[in-house]
A and B are shown apart, each in its own frame.
Chain A
Amino acid sequence: MKKINECRMTVDAKSVNEGFCRAVCAAFAAQAEPTVEEIGDIKTAVSEAVTNCIVHAYREMGGKIYITASLLADQRLRITVRDRGCGIADVKQAMEPLFTTVGDDRSGLGFSVMETFSDKLTVRSKVGKGTTVIIEKKLRGRARD
């Protein structure tokens, strides 16, 4: 599917940037005139992916997060969140609801939330290399209902 528009950014893996990352993705999506509901879905999913890079991939010790937001010709938004962190040994297990490797105030719901609020979620990971999470969502918008 042809890309209509694309935005790329690299941000430091600091928790203070979580709000910034989800706001940028929501602002990029605005050109497709999404509903308020759809904007909420995007913000929530992006927040989960970015938080995982900070908490898990880089273990709160910093690194870079690479985000690409693309709008495709069929009004589909594709957001890619990539890190060069520790990677995930067993992606299938990591994506199971309530699975977490960090006990302290983490619920193990991040991937489930990303799945719930998007149309398609793809996770690729290699131990020692990093993880790529691709969130896809068709923006139906109000006008096109």
Chain B
Amino acid sequence: MQVQTVVDGKALHVYLAGEIDHDSAPRIREKIDDKVTECRPCVLRLDFSDVSFMDSSGVGLVMGRYRHAHALGCATEVTHLTPRYEKIMKMSGLSKIVKFS
């Protein structure tokens, strides 16, 4: 699993690559939370273009990042979900608090 972060003005882009499961999620979480705390962006954008696998651990990951970012006044967006990932995310009602695009 690879996590690449790019700061672009007030936005923090996070490019996720590889498999998101209960094994990899803690490392991804730490990287994102550290970067958000450090950079204090207005928008956290999680890019799923290169995610090759995701189960419900991905939903927990996004929910947890939303909570952490929200507490610091930062909005969360999720981009490039496959239909499968979107279906899993939507089962949680996550689309009410996180913008999908």
Contact = CB atoms under 8 A, between A and B. Distances in A.
Contacts of A51: 21-22, 55-57
B91 A105 contact: no
A118 interface: no
Contact of A113 (B25, B29, B61, B88): B88
B56 A16 contact: no
Contacts, number: 62
Contacts of B64: 104-105
Contacts of B88: 44, 109, 113
Contacts of A112: 91
Interface residues of A, number: 24
Interface in A1-18: 15-16, 18
A91 interface: no
A107 B60 contact: yes
Nearest to B83: A37
B80 interface: no
A106 B87 CA distance: 17
Given A15-B23, A97-B91, 11 more contacts: A18-B21, A44-B53, A44-B88, A47-B55, A54-B22, A107-B56, A107-B59, A109-B56, A109-B92, A110-B56, A112-B91
Interface of B: 19, 21-23, 25, 29, 53, 55-57, 59-61, 63-64, 84, 87-88, 91-93
